[in-house]
């Protein structure tokens, strides 16, 4: 079945540091890939997505590129802010699976000023 | 202007009770979902409905019964609550069921079973 593996956290960075959160996936078909973010006490918000190989999703300074050859969708940001502190979830969906989202375990990001 | 709303936000109850969580979306979407987030933040699909029809039922105990009175609402009823049901339950919706599409999540309902 489909699965997503994310790097374990928590990840603690100083403000303006470079961020990478690794995400790899296993899928039988050609899934769409997503990053969702959950701020403390809130629901999930879509951060970015990519629907086919070599697509790059970007939003709020975050980027991720759909790499079919390495089955990866790593999240990057050049300069993090304290307000980026949250839990980040990598996820995939495949229409053959009824469009359900399969999530990674989530990575807690803490940014210190 | 809330896109996906859930009630209640918090629910504290005793073991053995029956409770319901309601979800409504005003996005005009055809598909709605329930996800469970456990204490370690792990998220897993429970159910999916497309235009009031059950599409996904992911090996959830039959104490959990979703009901979709119309395509804008998907409620979750839980019978005989157990300690292990304590979690945050998220409702979500998306435009179409047949293609991977962005899902929009509600704020969650934190259920605590004592």
User: Mutate which of A44, A49, A103 to disrupt the B interface (most B C-beta within 10 Å)?
Assistant: A44
pLDDT of residue B99: 56
| Structure confidence at residue B98 as a pLDDT band (50, 70, 90) | low
Residue B54: beta bridge partners? B49
- Span B11-38, average pLDDT: 95
pLDDT of residue A97: 65
pLDDT of residue B22: 97
pLDDT of residue B53: 86
pLDDT surpasses 90 at A49: yes
pLDDT of residue A8: 85
Cross-chain CB nearest to B42 (options A32, A34, A105): A105
Query: What are the φ and ψ backbone dihedral angles of A95, each rounded to 5 degrees?
Result: -60, -25
Spatial distance between the Cα atoms of A26 and A92, rounded to a whole number of angstroms: 9
pLDDT of residue B37: 94
Helix (H, G, I), strand (E, B) or coil at B83: helix
Residues 6+ apart with CB under 8 A from B62: none
Contact list in A for residue B35 (CB cut-off 8 A) is 101
Nearest CA to B93 out of B47, B44, B33, B18 is that of B33
Q: HSE on the CB side for A58, CA within 13 Å?
A: 7
Spatial distance between the Cα atoms of A38 and A85, rounded to a whole number of angstroms: 9
Spatial distance between the Cα atoms of A93 and A102, rounded to a whole number of angstroms: 6
pLDDT of residue B97: 57
Q: Are A46 and B98 a contacting pair at CB < 8 A?
A: no
From residue B64, give the alpha-carbon distance in Å to each of A42, A90, A106, B67.
Answer: 24, 27, 25, 10
Residues 6+ apart with CB under 8 A from B17: B80, B81
């Amino acid at each position: 079945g489909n699965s997503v593996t994310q790097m374990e956290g928590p990840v603690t960075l100083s403000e303006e540091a470079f961020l990478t959160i690794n995400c790899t996936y296993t899928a039988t078909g050609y899934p769409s890939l997503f990053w969702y973010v959950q701020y403390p006490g809130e629901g999930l918000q879509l951060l970015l997505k990519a629907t086919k190989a070599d697509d790059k999703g970007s939003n709020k300074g975050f980027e991720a590129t759909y790499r079919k050859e390495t089955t990866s969708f790593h999240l990057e940001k050049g300069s993090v802010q304290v307000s980026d502190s949250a839990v980040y979830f990598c996820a995939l969906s495949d229409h053959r699976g009824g469009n359900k989202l399969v999530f990674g375990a989530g990575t807690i990001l803490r940014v210190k000023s | 202007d809330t896109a996906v709303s859930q009630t209640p936000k918090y629910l504290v109850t005793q073991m053995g009770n029956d409770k319901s969580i309601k979800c409504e979306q005003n996005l005009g979407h055809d598909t709605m979902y329930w996800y469970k987030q456990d204490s370690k933040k792990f998220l897993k699909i429970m159910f999916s409905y497309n235009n009031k029809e059950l599409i996904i039922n992911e090996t959830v105990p039959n104490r959990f019964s979703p009901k979709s009175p119309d395509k804008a609402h998907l409620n979750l009823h839980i019978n005989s609550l157990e300690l292990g049901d304590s979690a945050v339950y998220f409702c979500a919706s998306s435009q179409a069921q047949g293609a991977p599409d962005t899902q929009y999540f509600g704020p969650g309902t934190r259920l605590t079973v004592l």
